[in-house]
Amino acid sequence: MIKLEKLVKIYKGNRNPAVDNLSVEIPKGKICILIGPSGCGKTTLLRMINGLISPTGGKIFINDDDITKVDQVELRRKMGYVIQGTGLFPHWTIAENISVVPKLLKWPKDKIENVVNNMLILIGLDPDEYKNRYPKALSGGQVQRVGVARALAADPPIMLMDEPFGAADPITRSKLQNEFLYIQEKIHKTIVFVTHDIDEAIKMGDLIAILKDGKLIQYGTPDNILSHPENEFVSEFVGSDRTLKRLGLIKVRDVMTRDVKIVKSSDPINKVKEMIKRVNNNFLYVINEKMEPRGYVLEEDLEKGKSLKEIIRTMASPVNPEDTLKTALSNMMALGVGTICVVNNKNEFIGEVTLNVLTRLISNSDQE
Amino acid sequence: MVQRINILLQLTAAHAYLVIFSMVFAIAIAVVSGILITLPSWPKNILLRNILFIISLFAGILIAFIFYKKQPISNKIIVFMLYGFFIGLVFYRKVLRNVILYIDSIIMTIPSIALFGLFIPILGIGFFNAVVALVLYAQLPIIRNTYAGITSIDPAVTDSARGMGMSNLQIILKVNLPIALPVIMAGIRTSTVMIAGIAAIASYIGAKSLGEFIFRGISRGSQNMILTGAIWIGIFAIITDFFLGRVEKWFTPKGLRVD
Ligand SMILES: Nc1ncnc2c1ncn2[C@@H]1O[C@H](COP(=O)(O)OP(=O)(O)OP(=O)(O)O)[C@@H](O)[C@H]1O
Ligand SMILES: [Mg+2]
């Protein structure tokens, strides 16, 4: 747990504080995002938590210990710090860079070697190829990834990350985010994560702190911030499409309808007609023998053809329960339909999500 | 002829000895003070800082006593005290950082022959006096480059070193020095080549060096000797430069090499 209490930082010679009376509590094992315009004090805050600079006022507690009362060097070794601009050591190889803290902690050699390999695999760089390279021989995105690996290497319980994926292209960035979330699910570190990118904040954050001119404007869960922006600044900051963004927070599994009536593609057409009268829909999903969805039939088409195969229509590409509603909506829009089926990882039909559910969900909670 | 070659070789050896002897001191003093003036606040304790200052003041006096045991030394102490005072300033670098660099560049602007002339009445003549003058001369490019080399390191690098829990000493030895090494080496190279030339003038105050060959040539009216001496000093400087260029390359960490 990290607790900041009425933290103030005024740099020498500056009139305005870089951090202004800021109190935040970051629970253990959670990712807290710091976001705000350039110069709002995000880096300053991380540097104070790390002990690189001391606050002008206020206190910082880590697991209830005042950080001014513990050994700074020890403190820092328990904190992985990914610095803005990375700061890899140019005179050391990638392997040497990653093993800095393990070496400071005097781990045995073979353990360090293992860690280096694992870390490189984790960040998607082939150990044999990259281990002995120097930072100058890496791309900007690769340098950043090594920066993250270096901070993670000694398995610190706390991570401070200052725009760690800033230089990666959107695809790599999203991959790194997913990778990181996946790791976090297993290791449960307490993470303070700085970003400029509101989408990244929404995706990565358990909690988001929005800062402006060193002040905390709003602190809450991504959903809370998207649905109840505290003031104009926040709603402008999160963007006018915040309602759509909320869809990115909700998983399909949370809203899907599970007991959906379906027909098999081998079913006789009469049976289908009977079924469609019993549901209050004008369509039915069609599956094959392996339970895989094939498409849907409309009531109005039933008279036209003799077999199901002739009148089956193309459906929106199915989603998984772990996908977000944003994906679901996007898939529906791509085909201009109001429903989408949900499949498990064996591609078997397990339910559906409809546009109605989505609109109801969002308009409801907006009025709360 | 053979005799002259013999003399030339002897003087070359003396010259090299004078240069190396001066450079060892100059490098040690200049690199350490170059590092010290880059540290924002070390030592933190003001009392300790004052003690270190006084130590460096007395270190000067101590050296004077060791070097001049058999001679009357009253004036000499003043020079060494001044020098110790100057070195001691690095402990107050926050205020005096620029003063140090400034004083040093003033010394640089004094023509070497004038500096030697200044030293004769105070220190008298001889090998060590020449060394003192040469060290004073040699240290500026090294202090400058050490300071510039360390302060030009990307702050993100030193920040991450500190942020990951390296101690101050570890940061200096493992990060700052290796990264600044090529720049420091360049300073050492410049100053050694410079000293290799200036050392010739040290013959004036009675330190054996290649300058003696030229001075003998002048007093005997032998153009040949003057020319040989001058060219030989040039060759000596060029060889020194070439050799140190190699060393410089060799000292540059692989990750910093441009290829
Ligand atoms: N060493 C310093 N001395 C004086 N002022 C500083 C110093 N570092 C930062 N500042 C000022 O403090 C404020 C906050 O800076 P900080 O680096 O924390 O911003 P930031 O939120 O990290 O910005 P960015 O998103 O651009 O990285 C800025 O106005 C900056 O000019
Ligand atoms: Mg910043």
Residue B123 confidence (pLDDT) above 90: no
pLDDT one-digit tens code per residue, B128-145: 778 888 888 888 889 889
Measured between CB atoms, which of A52, A88, A89 is closest to B163?
A: A52
Q: What is the pLDDT of residue A368?
A: 46
**What pLDDT, on a 0 to 100 scale, did the predictor assign at position A258?**
87
Cite the beta strand spans of chain A per DSSP E: 2-9, 19-26, 31-35, 57-62, 65-66, 79-82, 158-162, 190-195, 207-212, 215-220, 262-264, 283-287, 293-298, 339-343, 349-354
Q: What is the pLDDT of residue A161?
A: 94
Note down the domain range covering A102: 2-248
Instruction: Report pLDDT for A24.
Output: 94
Residue contact B160–A87, C-beta within 8 A: yes
The DSSP output letter for B68 is: T
Q: Are residues A12 and A140 in the same domain?
A: yes
**CB–CB contact A90 B255 (8 Å):** yes
Q: How far apart are CA B157 and CA B174, in angstroms?
A: 12
Cβ–Cβ under 8 Å, residues A190 and A26? yes
Domain boundary among the residues A193, A213, A248 is at A248
Question: Given this model, what pLDDT does residue B82 score?
Answer: 73
A115 Cβ inside 6 Å of ligand 1 = no
Nearest to B165 among A83, A90, A104 (CB): A104
| Domain at B2-40+106-249, CATH homologous superfamily | MetI-like (1.10.3720.10)
Give yes or no for A89 touching B (CB within 8 A).
yes
Chain B residues touching A86 at Cβ < 8 A: 156, 160
Radius of gyration of chain B (CA): 20
Domain co-membership, A264 together with A338? yes
CATH of the domain at A182: 3.40.50.300
The verdict on A207 and A265 lying in the same domain is no
Whether residues A221 and A339 fall in one domain = no
Q: Is the CB of A38 under 6 A from ligand 1?
A: yes
DSSP, collapsed to helix, strand or coil, labels residue B200 as: helix
State if residue A18 touches ligand 1 by the CB under 6 angstroms criterion: yes
Q: Which residue has the tokens 């003031």?
A: A231
CA-based max dimension of chain B: 68
A17 lines ligand 1 (CB under 6 A): no
According to the model, what pLDDT value does residue B176 have?
A: 92
Same domain, A134 and A180: yes
d(CA B115, CA B204): 11
Q: How far apart are CA A293 and CA A350, in angstroms?
A: 9
CB B104 within 8 A of CB B146: no
Query: Structurally, how many domains does chain A consist of?
Result: 2
Lowest mean pLDDT among A262-271, B23-32, B149-158: A262-271
Question: Which of the four pLDDT bands, split at 50, 70 and 90, describes residue B153?
Answer: very high
- Please report, in angstroms and rounded to a whole number, the separation of the first and last CA atoms in chain B: 48
pLDDT tens digits, residue range A254-279? 889 888 888 888 888 888 888 888 88
Residue B70, pLDDT > 70, answer: no
d(CA B125, CA B207): 8
Nearest atom of ligand 1 to the alpha carbon of A214: 14
How high is the pLDDT of residue A165?
87
Q: How confident is the model at residue B94 (pLDDT cuts 50, 70, 90)?
A: low
Q: Is B163 on the interface with A (CB under 8 A)?
A: yes
Contact between residue B34 and residue B139 where contact means Cβ atoms under 8 Å apart: no
In this model, does residue B16 exceed pLDDT 50?
yes
pLDDT (tens digit per residue) in A84-97: 888 899 999 999 99
Question: Does A261 lie in the same domain as A125?
Answer: no
**Least confident residue range of A60-64, A220-224, B53-57, B243-247:** B53-57
Of A187, A219, A248, the domain-final residue? A248
Name the residue of A12, A44, A212 whose CB sits within 8 Å of the most ligand 1 atoms, as the mutation to test its pocket.
Answer: A44
**B166 reaches A (C-beta below 8 A):** yes
| A194 shares contact with chain B (CB less than 8 Å) | no
In sequence order, the β-bridge partners of residue A33 are: A193, A208
Residues A132 and A13 occupy one common structural domain: yes
A217 and A336 belong to one structural domain: no
Q: Which of A217, A248, A279 is the last residue of a domain?
A: A248
pLDDT of residue B73: 60
Contacts of residue A47 in chain B, CB cutoff 8 Å? 159
Comma-separated ranges of CATH 1.10.3720.10 domains in chain B: 2-40+106-249
Are A183 and A259 within one domain? no
Claim to verify: residue A24 and residue A87 sit in the same structural domain: yes
In angstroms, the CA A350 to CA A257 distance is 9
Q: What's the A11 CA to ligand 1 centre distance in angstroms?
A: 9
Is the confidence metric ipTM above 0.95 for this complex?
A: no
Enter the tokens of residue A44: 């300053």
Between the CA of residue A172 and those of A145, A178, B169, B249, what are the distances in Å? 10, 10, 38, 38
Residues of chain A with pLDDT below 50 are: 368
Q: What is the pLDDT of residue A62?
A: 92
pLDDT digits (tens, 9 = 90+) for B187-213: 999 999 989 988 888 888 888 888 888
| 3-class SS shares of chain B: helix, strand, coil, % to 5 | 85, 0, 15
- For residue B163, the chain A residues in CB contact (below 8 A) are 50, 52, 76, 79, 81, 83
Of A75, A90, A93, the CB nearest to B256: A90
Closest-CA distance of chain B to residue A181, Å = 23
Mean pLDDT of B47-56: 82
Q: Are B256 and A101 an interchain contact pair (Cβ–Cβ within 8 Å)?
A: no
Chain B residues inside the 8 Å CB shell of A52: 159, 162-163
Predicted TM-score (pTM) of the model is 0.78
CATH number of the domain residue A316 falls in: 3.10.580.10
